[in-house]
Chain A
Amino acid sequence: MAAVAVLGLARTALHRNGARLVQAAVMTTAQRSVAHFTFVPEPEPAQYGPTQKMNLFQSITSALDNVLAKDPTAVIFGEDVAFGGVFRCTVGLRDKYGKERVFNTPLCEQGIVGFGIGVAVTGATAIAEIQFADYIFPAFDQIVNEAAKYRYRSGNLFACGSLTIRAPWGCVGHGSLYHSQSPEAFFSHIPGVKVVIPRSPIQAKGLLISCIEDKNPCIFFEPKILYRAAVEQVPVEAYQVPLSQAEVLEEGNDVTLVAWGTQVHVMREVASMAQEKLGVSCEVIDLRTILPWDVETICKSVAKTGRLLISHEAPITGGFAAEISSTVQEECFLNLEAPISRVCGYDTPFPHIFEPFYIPDKWKCFDAVRKMINY
């Protein structure tokens, strides 16, 4: 289950080809790596003390640093975390906290999660890394049958609530089948775990610390495309962003737009496009926690707007939008003025060269808003 380190290499190779073959018919690096979203930094938070400019991977490191400093039982482990991690999320932590607390494991995902559960069963804090969300499936049994059910099946005698599993997540431009996946819906069907996905460095740090301190096993998916791309002022000290609470980022009256991870930024752009081109006012909501999710905030918004669009990168069939859609339909039947729209990945594996056509980009989402308004 080796994670092929294609991400950096592919870029170099493309660049070389691009330089050699300057022809109109050949896609250039620039054309291919145009981001499908625009990250807009949020205002500097004032309530948590001094801040520093951090990208998303640095804010993860900062969260882990805060936790290791405060909690002497906390350990971080996974494949290649000792030298700083393939995405640099654990840089410097081993030097600072020692090799017993930040260490490489053998290359075996089921072992990593099983091991993490065991650490957590003793009450110590276990922060496991799965190198790519795509490679979490070998640990599915340990997550579904073990971590999620530990407390319940033992009558609360034993639990692994101090376990957090972090994994890079989502599309990255050229990650193809096994460096692009968004597996949150698989995990949304597992009572006993929490699934959390941040949209930005500030959110990532606060939500990750909440996951680590939460008394339940948590899966924390980090949108890898934001690791370097998203930069904002992040508090240096520890703070928490609550789990199971969606956040209304922009208020609106005509349509509710729900997304998580990178797709939130797509939604924000869609909201401006809808305002600009259609005069439609959109309410943009970041769901943040997939399980247990914030039904109330979403339903309250839909009761006001009467229309709902949910968008995620993962394939549409069995995706988490289906759960949201069905719940909102039950709760807000009398308020809905149009069918709930889902703009998602297609029901195919995540493709390499076809990525720009695969993802639910702003144009696909915008078109869905247009149709919904005209319904």
Chain B
Amino acid sequence: MAAVVRQLGVRWSGLWNSRVSRAQIALSASRRALSTGVSNSQTLTKGGLLPLFLHLFYSSLPLCFLQLPKDMVLKFYQKMTLLNTMDRILYESQRQGRITFYMTNYGEEGTHIGSAAALESNDMVFGQYREAGVLMYRGFPLELFMAQCYASARDVGKGRQMPVHYGSKDLHFVTISSPLATQIPQAVGAAYAYKVSQEDRAVICYFGEGAASEGDAHAGFNFSATLECPIIFFCRNNGYAISTPTHEQYRGDGIAARGPGYGIISIRVDGNDVFAVYNATKEARRRAVAENQPFLIEAMTYRIGHHSTSDDSSAYRSVDEVNYWDKQDHPISRLRHYMVNKGWWDEEQEKAWRKQSRKQVMEAFEEAERAMKPKLDHMFTDVYEETPVSLQKQQEALQRHLKMYGEHYPIDHYEK
């Protein structure tokens, strides 16, 4: 095992070094993002901070480098690229005013797919909002992604939330909400319930490095440790919370270094390496369930896209910095190189898959755009399990109102 770990360490150190020498452009900014707020890379590797890409000094989590079979790797690649294709189309559709809002996953596809693949299919997922790849991996249909973004009648959420707030009961993906970090202590509660009912299920909880500054993150970490819950905290450290770089977010050694303070075994992985993410998650999942204890994985990555469609990230970071991560060190291109080297993928397959995935996305897109909006009654249901009398009266008042003033409302777009 030690040898494997050492070998991995060499490999990852090599990646780190070659990356630094390659990336002369916008180097300090890149380093800032990568080094979790520490601006001197020497300090990062030699000053006693947590080594990047390696499992931690504090960690007793062994990393087994598994050679994954071809079909699994192909699935990783196809899910990552399909997500990327969907992102491009929905991002554009927001730019054209066809949906109201969107958040892309550019650069973080590897964290989603690698971790999702390492879980059991009924492990409960609590997310933040930039984890659509997890749903993609679990087989959430493109039609339902689109239905949610368009708030069409097919949306399982009944058109009530903003775009990208996905949820799926069948796929054990708890519906996303906007308030940051609120899901963290909730995920811990769910994990506790699984422990008590002895279901052999784990919970994974995703959040960004910005959300980790919320009080609820502290609550969740601490509860998970004292109450011994089978949970994996998965932090996507992409360098920015909207415009705020990590050196304005924290001054410690990233998020992973906080874990041991709570008694949580922690590890930092290269988030652009889908295999590193897979391995860390796989082992954390195994031990979390076997030992009823929490694990913290910090995946270092870079937010290539804007924070959202309401944000222009060039206002606070350089295009060069973004380009470096997009062109030189992207989870998708890294996986493609691996597959090409293995002889599992070539230019022709790439072309065919691009065409096919684009077609799939466009078909779902057009269907969602044509669809009616949900029934107006859905505005009033599900507030409570039953509809209280007072709410029934409000519903009837709206119906009466629309009888008289219906022409002033977009009533024809909604199902009757």
A residues lining the B interface (CB < 8 Å): 73, 75, 100-101, 103, 105-106, 108, 110-111, 113-124, 126, 138, 141-142, 145-146, 149-159, 161, 191-192, 194, 215-216, 244, 292-293, 295-296
29 contacts between A and B (CB under 8 A): A73-B193, A75-B193, A75-B196, A110-B215, A110-B219, A114-B185, A114-B216, A114-B220, A115-B185, A115-B189, A118-B191, A119-B189, A122-B189, A124-B193, A138-B215, A141-B179, A146-B177, A153-B157, A153-B161, A155-B155, A155-B157, A155-B160, A155-B378, A156-B382, A157-B169, A194-B384, A216-B384, A292-B391, A295-B390
Distance between Cα atoms of A350 and B155 in the complex (Å): 48
Q: Which of A114, A194, A292 contacts B186 (CB 8 A)?
A: A114
Interface core residue of A103, A111, A123 (most chain B CB under 10 Å) = A111
A105 touches B223 (CB 8 A): yes
B230 contacts the other chain (CB 8 A): no
Further 8 A-B residue pairs, CB within 8 A, beyond A121-B174, A292-B388: A106-B223, A145-B179, A145-B182, A153-B157, A154-B175, A155-B158, A215-B386, A292-B391
Select A153's contact among B165, B185, B189, B216, beta carbons within 8 Å: B165
- CA separation between A145 and B226, bound complex, in Å? 26
**Is B167 on the interface with A (CB-CB < 8 A)?**
yes
* A152–B160 touching, CB < 8 Å: yes
B215 nearest CB across to chain A (Å): 6
Partner of B385, one of A105, A158, A159: A159
Shortest Cβ distance from residue B219 to the other chain A in the assembled complex, whole angstroms = 3
Residues of chain B contacted by A119 (CB below 8 angstroms): 189-190, 192-193
Q: Verify A108–B194 contact, CB threshold 8 A.
A: no
**Minimum CB distance partner of A100 in chain B:** B196
Interchain CB contact (< 8 A) of B197 among A124, A138, A141, A159: A124
CB-based contact A114/B177 at 8 Å? no
**Contact partner of A118 among B185, B381, B385, CB < 8 A?**
B185
Cβ contact within 8 Å between A151 and B179: no
User: Does B136 sit at the interface, judged by CB under 8 A?
Assistant: no
Give, as a whole number of angstroms, the nearest-CB distance from A131 to chain B: 16
Which residue of chain B has its CB nearest to the CB of A216? Answer: B384
Question: How many A-B Cβ pairs are below 8 Å?
Answer: 162
Instruction: Tell me how far the C-beta of A364 lies from the nearest C-beta in chain B, rounded to whole angstroms.
Output: 30
Q: What mask results when residues 162 to 190 of chain B are scored 1 for a CB within 8 Å of chain A, else 0?
A: 00010111000011010100101111111
Chain A: minimal CB distance from B395 (Å) = 13
Q: Does B389 contact A (CB under 8 A)?
A: yes
Select the residue from A117, A120, A152, A215 with max chain B CB neighbours within 10 A. A152
Alpha-carbon separation in the docked complex, A152 to B189 (Å): 20
Q: A103-B227, A153-B161, A153-B175 are in contact. Are A121 and B216 (CB under 8 A)?
A: no
Chain B residue, CB-CB nearest to A156: B382
A216 engages B158 (CB within 8 Å): no
The smallest C-beta distance from B391 to any residue of chain A, in angstroms, reads: 8
Q: Is the CB of B157 within 8 A of A157?
A: yes
Instruction: Mark B residues whose CB is within 8 Å of A.
Output: 124, 126, 155-158, 160-161, 165, 167-169, 174-175, 177, 179, 182, 184-197, 215-216, 218-220, 222-223, 226-227, 378, 381-386, 388-391
A351 and B185 alpha carbons, distance in the complex (Å)? 34
Q: In this complex, what residue of B is CB-closest to A105?
A: B223
B148's nearest neighbour on chain A, judged by CB, is A155
Contacts of A122 in B (CB 8 A): 124, 189-190, 193-194, 197
Q: How far is the CB of B223 from chain A (nearest CB, A)?
A: 5
Which one, B167, B188, B215, contacts A115 given CB within 8 A?
Answer: B188
- For B167, list chain A residues within 8 Å (CB): 154-155, 157-158
Q: A119-B189, A152-B160, A192-B383 are in contact. Are A111 and B388 (CB under 8 A)?
A: no
Q: Which chain B residue shows the least CB distance to A113? A: B185
Measured CB to CB, the closest approach of chain B to A127, in angstroms, equals 12
Chain A residues with CB below 8 A from B157, complex form: 153-155, 157
B389 touches A292 (CB 8 A): yes
A121 touching B383 by the CB < 8 A rule? no
Let me know if B384 and A126 touch, CB within 8 A: no
The chain B residue sitting closest to A157, CB to CB, is B169
Bound CA span A175–B177, Å: 37
Tell me the bound Cα distance from A142 to B383 in angstroms: 16
A153 engages B182 (CB within 8 Å): no
B residues near A152, Cβ cutoff 8 Å: 160, 382-383
Quick check: B182 and A216 within 8 Å, CB to CB? no
Query: Which residues of chain B are within 8 angstroms of A244 by Cβ–Cβ distance?
Result: 388
Which 4 pairs between the two chains have the least Cβ-Cβ distance? A118-B189, A114-B185, A111-B219, A154-B175
Q: Is the CB of B168 within 8 A of A118?
A: no
**Set of chain B residues within 8 Å of A105, measured between Cβ atoms:** 223, 226-227
Of B169, B188, B216, which contacts A158 at CB under 8 A? B169
Q: Which residue of A lies closest to B385 (CB)?
A: A215
Give the nearest-CB partner of A104 in chain B: B226
B contact residues around A151 at 8 Å (CB)? 382-385
Residues on B with C-beta less than 8 A from A126 are 189
Task: Say yes or no: B179 contacts A146, CB within 8 Å.
Answer: yes
Task: Assess the B223–A108 pair: CB atoms within 8 A.
Answer: yes
Q: How far is the CA of A34 from the CA of B197 in the complex (A)?
A: 49
B contact residues around A142 at 8 Å (CB): 182, 185, 216
How many Å lie between the Cα of A115 and that of B205 in the bound state?
13
The answer to whether B156 touches A157 (Cβ under 8 A) is yes
Q: CA separation between A292 and B383, bound complex, in Å?
A: 11
Assuming A115-B189, A159-B385, is B222 touching A106 (CB within 8 A)? yes
